[in-house]
Structure 1
Amino acid sequence: MRDMWNNIAAACFLIALGTGSTIQYLGFHDTTHHSAPLSQLIATTARDVTVFDAPELVTAVDGDDAWTSSVRRGDKLLQGMHMSNKGAAELYGMGESVESPYDGDLHGALESWGYNDNSEALKKVADKECNMDSASGHMLKKTFGDLGMTTKPKSQGGSNECFLIQHYNSPAVILDEKDKTQPEKAKQFYKAPCGTEFRITGAEHTVGVNAEGAAIFAMDIKSPAKAARSLWRRAAKIEELPHIRSFSDISWACWNRAAAGNIQNIKYLFVTMIINTETNRHIKQALKTLKSPKEEAEGWPGSEFEMATDAGKALLGSPVGRWAGYFLMQHKRQLGGSKYISKVRVFKSEKPGSLPYFLFYVEGPDAEIKLVTGAETSQLTENTRNSSVESRLVKMSTDSKSVVKQHFFHAKF
């Protein structure tokens, strides 16, 4: 795998053009191993950059507060999840495909972009996080029991497997010329597949997987952009960041490793111990929308929010929630169709003083929705003459010229 990445190093390039609110980002693409076209890596606005789930690089809609912005982002994610690959690409202005170019387990690929990819030492650290009934970590015995999952890590005979991936101390780090050792983290550089030297960002991701229970756990999300701001003491430019950097891509790699041969069986996407300030504000606001308003999240089973509600959309579109939508939207082909999130549960663990958790429920694939314009209406009418059709209006533009509908056709007998 590593040889493959080296052989196509010439295809690695990054162009970041900032003209007003427009940003174009073109990243590394391996046409042999990834079916998505290079054009999908082009982002049209600062709001919809290709690395979708990097919150530091995403700006709110002009004039919107954080809640409204998250509702809109969550709503757009829902549409993208329900649509076909091409439909989602059109929705996001991504050409013909919204599929991520980074597929499979990414062994070798992550290291080539400067990551210390779950080394033996890191595995031991991550394994401690995988005990989901531990007083020193997560206490989710009731949650796992209701979902039919074991709380123990694989090292103790259970089904949980955790991965720790850090963007520093990697085998790819360029050694000091004098003593041939790795420099301190703030001074580490690596040579990317294109031959250009990049600086280590200090990013860290911990991903848990229970393949038997069809679940993924976002346990630690410290993105390259956020980590670089701290390590470099300044904001990173897009062209300074590793091309593989979205949590949805990294969690997809971990899912492929742990659930190899059965990657379509995904039911639950968790976010554990949420500390993000904006997301916690959204949680408080969402809880106030309940018929019996609550001041804070409660223990399992907590509170449930359907995706048809603004509260559900805001939590999905929140800084730590949106990765779940991109995970499904950008891997339709591999997952067997357009899977989507139907609801989210907010709860706390059994540990005293627990922080909130998210549990996103995955369903589908169902019938896909598509963008329908006036020019397509006559053809749609012709198609329904010999069938009964159930149509659901999903969204309409302010001028009523463009609508999003979901159509279910039933043959007449």
Structure 2
Amino acid sequence: MKLSIVVGYASAAYLALARSRPHSHANGTLPEPTHRLTRRFDANVLASDKDWKAASCRGGRLVELMLGSDEAAGSKIESTKGNNTPSAKSEWQGDLKQELKTWGWHEEYAEDVYADLERLDVTSVAEALGINRKPKGAGGNNIPYEIRHWDKDARDPKGHPIAPRDQTYKVDGKEYRVTQARHLFTVNPTDGVIIGQFLESPASAAEFLWYRKARSDELPNIQRLSDIFWGHWVRDNTNVVNIRYFWMMDVANEDTEEIMARALSEAGKAISTWPGVTFNMDSDAGKAILGSANGAVFAWFLVQHKAQLGDKWIPKVTVFLNDLGRSWSGAHVLFYVEDAPDRENNP
């Protein structure tokens, strides 16, 4: 399986693109999710046998890659196994500020509300996990980020705004179209958590903007969430190994939702507020959730940065609702990060 396969859908949506319609929330008004995104978890729509088996197989393979050495992982990845010294290491390293700019990404101001866990109705989760609840702007540890694959301030020579569908950028003399992809997430290096809130890949966004599927050579070279998360995780972070949790808020990807619903159904459990339902990675359910679009990105984050992080893996995952219970919100999914067990059987 190639690296590009595992992140191909719009993934989580606490909010959506500005072009969508608003809906109400206890603490304000947010845009509705866009295409293929749902507004509320439906436990009655289950993944098919085919999709369940495929996700579980992907998750099992990701567990194997996390537990193995960098060279062992590299030898099992299609794009790197033929190298003289196979390595799973990502080609994108460092804070990626210049690289993201080169490939058409624009850093935007992210409001503190998106890093305020009290206003996001997940106080009980933050307290249980020992995660600070406040944004950095209010003296807390949570740093919100937003990046867009278009320039909202683009103007033509006469000063008129240029719509995203007409915007282009050049890399090494080749012209590319922007995709209108958008990622909004929160990073907390102090307490060791990355929180995905709205994540729409260039491939997914381009299909919506261009009215067709994009060819791989039309998309930015830097597009995988594992790389984008890494670039922001290392910024001003003196303790990069302190990654403890990956958290997807209000999951809106239909495929992931159906996988979570089947996991709950097979366990005979109903989704609930925290502490929710936990699945270990020795179960098909745990592997299937890890192998979903919302889980695989985090496994790759660990697989591709063994040199900096050491040997870490995801041993379990919890599915839950926010503190309001069955409100407008989607389901949340939390992945736990721990040091990998002795590699004696995973050379």
Please state if 1:224 is matched with 2:202: yes
Aligned to 2:242: 265
Please state if 1:300 is matched with 2:247: no
Aligned to 1:278: 255
**Aligned mates of 1:163, 1:251 — CA distance in 2:** 10
CA spacing shift, 1:68–1:116, aligned 2, 3 Å: same
Aligned to 1:198: 176
> Does structure 2 retain, via aligned residues, the 8 Å contact 1:153–1:160?
yes
**Aligned mates of 2:231, 2:265 — CA distance in 1:** 37
- Number of positions where the alignment pairs a residue of Structure 1 with one of Structure 2: 303
Please state if 1:81 is matched with 2:66: yes
Aligned to 1:367: 342
> Does structure 1 retain, via aligned residues, the 8 Å contact 2:118–2:133?
yes
Superposition map of 1:318-397 within 5 A? 318-335=292-309, 337-352=310-325, 353=327, 354-368=329-343
Superposition map of 1:85-164 within 5 A? 85-93=70-78, 94-95=80-81, 96-118=86-108, 122-123=109-110, 125=111, 127-134=112-119, 138-164=120-146
**Aligned mates of 2:298, 2:5 — CA distance in 1:** 11
Superposition map of 1:175-186 within 5 A? 176=156, 178-179=157-158, 182-186=161-165
**Aligned mates of 1:320, 1:326 — CA distance in 2:** 11
**Aligned mates of 2:307, 2:340 — CA distance in 1:** 11
Residue 53 of structure 1 and its aligned partner are, at CA, apart by 3.3
Larger RCO: Structure 1 or Structure 2 (Cα < 8 Å, ≥ 6 residues apart)? 2
Normalised by the length of structure 2, the TM-score is 0.83
Task: Answer with 1 or 2: which has the greater Rg.
Answer: 1
Per-residue CA deviation, residues 341-381 of structure 1 (Å, 9 max, x unaligned), is 00001111112413211111111143236xxxxxxxxxxxx
**Aligned mates of 1:151, 1:289 — CA distance in 2:** 33
> Does structure 2 retain, via aligned residues, the 8 Å contact 1:100–1:249?
yes
Letter in 2 for 1:239: D
**Aligned mates of 2:102, 2:346 — CA distance in 1:** 42
**Aligned mates of 2:198, 2:9 — CA distance in 1:** 16
Q: Which moved more, 1:208-217 or 1:78-87?
A: 208-217
CA spacing shift, 1:179–1:49, aligned 2, 3 Å: farther
Letter in 2 for 1:226: S
Aligned to 1:13: none
**Aligned mates of 1:67, 1:264 — CA distance in 2:** 32
CA spacing shift, 1:162–1:272, aligned 2, 3 Å: same
**Aligned mates of 2:152, 2:100 — CA distance in 1:** 10
Residue 144 of structure 1 and its aligned partner are, at CA, apart by 0.5
**Aligned mates of 1:333, 1:64 — CA distance in 2:** 37
Residue 180 of structure 1 and its aligned partner are, at CA, apart by 5.3
Per-residue CA deviation, residues 298-352 of structure 1 (Å, 9 max, x unaligned), is 10000000001000000000111110100000000011x2210000011111124
RMSD value, Cα: 2.0
**Aligned mates of 1:228, 1:362 — CA distance in 2:** 32
Aligned to 2:38: none
> Does structure 1 retain, via aligned residues, the 8 Å contact 2:95–2:230?
yes
> Does structure 1 retain, via aligned residues, the 8 Å contact 2:59–2:290?
yes
**Aligned mates of 2:231, 2:241 — CA distance in 1:** 14
- In structure 2, the gaps of 5 or more residues are 11-47
Aligned to 2:36: none
> Does structure 2 retain, via aligned residues, the 8 Å contact 1:104–1:256?
yes
Provide the secondary structure at the position in 1 that maps to 2:230. helix
**Aligned mates of 1:202, 1:250 — CA distance in 2:** 16
Provide the secondary structure at the position in 2 that maps to 1:162. strand
Of 164, 169, 176, 2:151 maps to 169
Residue 50 of structure 1 and its aligned partner are, at CA, apart by 3.2
> Does structure 2 retain, via aligned residues, the 8 Å contact 1:53–1:248?
no
Shift >4 Å, 4+ stretches: none
> Does structure 2 retain, via aligned residues, the 8 Å contact 1:77–1:325?
yes
- In structure 1, the gaps of 5 or more residues are 1-47, 58-62, 370-404, 408-413
Residue 97 of structure 1 and its aligned partner are, at CA, apart by 1.1
> Does structure 2 retain, via aligned residues, the 8 Å contact 1:217–1:270?
yes
> Does structure 2 retain, via aligned residues, the 8 Å contact 1:53–1:246?
no
Provide the secondary structure at the position in 1 that maps to 2:316. strand
